[in-house]
Structure 1
Amino acid sequence: MVGPVKDDICYATQNRQDAVKSILQLCDFLIVIGSKNSSNSRRLKELALKNDVESVLIDDKSDLDLELLATKEMIGITAGASAPEILFDEVLNFLLTHGATESKSNHVQIVENISFSLPKELKEL
């Protein structure tokens, strides 16, 4: 299987991949929240594995293995582009109520200043 050409990746996907790259140096485990059939979510997991960081792709907090997580020192959390933000919040809160001792917010945000023109047909309306 061949991944998409970089120019073919949407902005949200590229931004998430860039953010994950920046936190991988800090963690020994990455939780990716997203659907197993989401190409974006699978790529985030693969990116972690490619950088020697163990990773798991979960649908929601019920997929977490507390015994496995207890063996990790620094856990990163990210979500695929289509994952609802509430799932991220639920996973974070679950970790905090099940033994995580600290929460550091390291939001990496890339400003998107790309604008697209309306198609000619719509401009004429």
Structure 2
Amino acid sequence: MDDDQLSRAFAALADPTRRDLVSRLALGDAAVGDLAAPYDMSLQAVSKHIAVLERAGLVTRSRDAQRRPVRLDAEVLGELTGWIDRHRRAAEARMSRLEDVLADPETAPPATPTHAPSEEGQP
């Protein structure tokens, strides 16, 4: 997943209505009318939310006779989860190292400067 796709997916999921639609689609495919039923908004407004999810690659629509069911793309969700997981593991590793240093400061690696001095010897 490239950065643009990642940005579109997270932007789409920033909206609570779209997150709710994704949660509902995790239970199974649904028609737009069925998805719109619990909301106090027009069918057109819900369709626009679904279009945002579709552009982000999170859902697809297929044709089933007269119906156009909306389907969650589990593979894309897996890629988002993988991205989040990598960053979570890195943050946990940093916190674990910090906890080790705080538990025994004598084992801490020597401090490194946060910036290199300029050529004239001034910061």
TM-score (ref. length: structure 1): 0.25
More strand by share: 1
Compare relative contact order (CA 8 Å, sep 6+) and give the higher one, 1 or 2.
1
More helix by share: 2
Larger radius of gyration: 2
